[in-house]
Amino acid sequence: MAEKRHSRKQTEENKNKGMSRIIIIILSAAAICLLMIMGMRVYKEGKIPKAPAENRAAGGSEAGNKGSGKGAADAGGMGGGTAAGSGVTGNGAAGSDFTGNGAAGSNVTGSGVNGNVAAGNINDQDTAFENIINSMNLEEKIAQMFIITPEALTGFEQVTDAGEATRNGLVHYPVGGLVYFKPNIQNPQQVKEMIASTKEFADSAVKLPILIAVDEEGGTVARLAGNPQFSVEKFPDMSVIGASGDLDKAYEVGQTIGGYLKEYGFNMNFAPDADVLTNPGNTVVAMRSFGSDPGLVSAMAGQVAEGLKDQGIIPVYKHFPGHGSTKGDTHEGFAYTDRTLDELRKSELVPFAQAVNDGRPCIMAAHIAAVAVDGNKPASLSKTLITDVLREEMGFTGVVITDALNMGAIQSLYSSGDAAILAVEAGADILLMPADFKEAYEALVNAVKEGRISEERIIISLKRIAAMKAGL
């Protein structure tokens, strides 16, 4: 019996030891699994997540978000206080001003339709664009710096569809974008098919996404809404919207226009008009401007831009340094403002300073001459205004596009080649509609080959352009 009890006791001890081993094995396995899970979490959190496509398409600073109704006016400089970080002060009346660098120290990178674009800097999710730029030859790089009409691309007098001439044109001149006007826009189906075919050709011929641009401000400047074939919502002139003081309505303008532009295939709109109307006799932008109060114009333009952005459309602020005080019409010939730089800072430049702060991706340089700042030189060709004021003083790191270079203010004084070279030397990134595209293109190519402009300067513009296009 004693032997049996001893045997039974030993068996029980063996069972207990076996159970202990099993428990230890289970606990060890659980600990290993927990460590693996934690390790994976650390690994994942250590990576920069790729933004969803919809976020990339509408990326950028939230400083200009719609907010809540009229209260958003405070961020635009109407409310008395300073918009955060912008340097835009006060009540937005004549006393409004900005100081120092409008986006001082904000060496921000970005992507998407409205990312905060840093000069020569593309963030991690867009490094592929940098590789593409490095793979381009000089001619391809320079072609990216032009937005032209489909007529200039194909040689046809009027283009209403995209066929072999468009395909061949993009193969020979892989331009950064095309802009469409009333003669190109006949009816909804035709526009959809023309743009879809153009994008298809560009996908195989152009190494970066192609910009498809239009002037659709609303009111009198509306290429689609002004065509009775298009059943889209029509808006009054922006002077009416501005007079209402309704920021929700301004956002609605941008969102609605952006919605139908997106539907037809556009991805860039030369709007909003950010001109402060300081000259009552100005007829060029009288109905297109939101008004004479720089704070109101800043807020209204910001809401239109935000509405466009939310629909995936790149907004283009115009016409830097401000067309509202000018005498003359740059469409016809020389136009100028006699306001000093200090006077411009307190009024005309305020909406552009706010655009910089809000991370807007593109500003259009007008052909007006600020004679007290840089003599008779058009702003679009002025290094003082584009580089010294807009970039260095105001802190703009995005894309500068010229106004149309076939306008009288340029064409009557400069050849297409000279204008292109001077614009790039001044700091412009995209050249819009030179009177003679091929002359302008060849002049830039030769300027680089001959050493007047460095290829590094071209690459700086290409990086800005690529960052802006990242969400397309």
Task: Report the C-alpha gap between 139 and 449 in whole angstroms.
Answer: 11
Closest to 211 in 3D by CA, of 146, 306, 142: 146
DSSP assignment of 302-353 equals: HHHHHHHHHTT-EE-EEEET-STT-BS-TTTS--EE---HHHHHHTTTHHHH
| Cα 275 from chain centroid (whole Å) | 18
Amino acid letter for position 15: K
Query: Nearest 10 degrees: CA dihedral of 191, 155, 363, 426?
Result: 170
Rounded distance, CA 411 to CA 403, Å? 12
Q: Do residues 292 and 278 lie in contact, with contact meaning Cβ atoms separated by under 8 Å? A: yes
How far apart, in whole angstroms, are the C-alpha atoms of residue 93 and residue 292? 8
Half-sphere exposure of 184 (CA within 13 A, CB side): 26
Alpha-carbon dihedral 187, 288, 375, 88, rounded to 10 degrees: -120
User: Which is the catalytic residue, given 374, 403, 429, 436?
Assistant: 403
The enclosing H or E element of 55 equals helix 53-57
The two beta strands, 362-365 and 369-370, are unpaired
SS3 383: helix
403 is catalytic: yes
Question: How far apart are alpha carbons 407 and 440 in whole angstroms?
Answer: 14
- Active-site residues, by number, are 403
